[in-house]
């Protein structure tokens, strides 16, 4: 069955930066297991997309051409490691702008659904509850199932709470509503 797999970027593929923003390729530190995870997902019927909030652009900290350079570096490096990313969708807006593409809103994922429609399953892999909320809001193929019991903030539903490890949710009827997978995410 075809899968449309959305991966958050920072904290899933590369380590989060202490000051909050990856501003150059020199700051990218691949998380252990991220490259292996990317080639494991590389199957002919999978469509793999990165979805990432990049408020540094909206704040004027990171020029958009520099962000595009960083994303080209991601694509090239992952390809060299026998992985594949079909598309990168990013939101350049600040939280205050409340745009529909900034996670936890589903706009980035809806762009992927529009581009790669016809997939029978939708997965969202992320390191925050906002990532899971974006998946839930993206459409009927997605059911977040249960959040890991040990995820801090999961019971309170705190916006922006960071669960331990990575969360991957699959659609209703898949037989597995929740699975933790390691693409190199920080525990």
Task: Please give the C-alpha separations between residue 94 and each of 35, 53, 56, 161, 185, in angstroms, as whole numbers.
Answer: 29, 9, 8, 18, 24
Cβ-contact 185, 30 below 8 angstroms: no
- The candidate with the shortest Cα–Cα distance to 21, out of 43, 50, 52, 65, is 52
Look up 131 and say whether it is catalytic: no
DSSP code for 187: -
- The set of residues, in sequence order, having a beta carbon less than 8 Å from that of 156 and lying 6+ positions away, is none
Measured CA to CA, the distance from residue 17 to residue 172 in angstroms comes to: 34
Give the residue numbers marked as catalytic: 8, 10
């Amino acid at each position: 069955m075809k899968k449309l797999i959305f991966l958050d970027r920072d904290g899933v593929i590369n380590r989060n930066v202490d000051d909050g923003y990856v501003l150059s390729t020199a700051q990218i530190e691949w998380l252990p297991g991220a490259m292996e995870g990317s080639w494991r997902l590389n199957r002919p019927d999978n469509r793999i997309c990165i979805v990432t909030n990049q408020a540094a652009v909206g704040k004027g900290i990171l020029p958009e051409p520099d962000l595009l350079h960083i994303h080209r570096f991601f694509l090239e490096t992952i390809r060299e490691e026998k992985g594949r990313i079909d598309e990168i969708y990013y939101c350049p807006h600040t939280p205050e702008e409340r745009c529909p593409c900034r996670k936890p809103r589903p706009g980035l994922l809806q762009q992927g659904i529009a581009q790669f429609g016809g997939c029978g399953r939708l997965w969202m892999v992320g390191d925050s509850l906002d990532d899971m909320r974006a998946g839930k809001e993206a459409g009927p193929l997605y059911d977040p199932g249960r959040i890991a019991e040990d995820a801090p903030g999961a019971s309170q539903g705190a916006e922006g709470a960071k669960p331990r490890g990575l969360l991957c949710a699959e659609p209703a009827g898949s037989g597995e509503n929740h699975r933790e997978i390691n693409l190199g995410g920080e525990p």
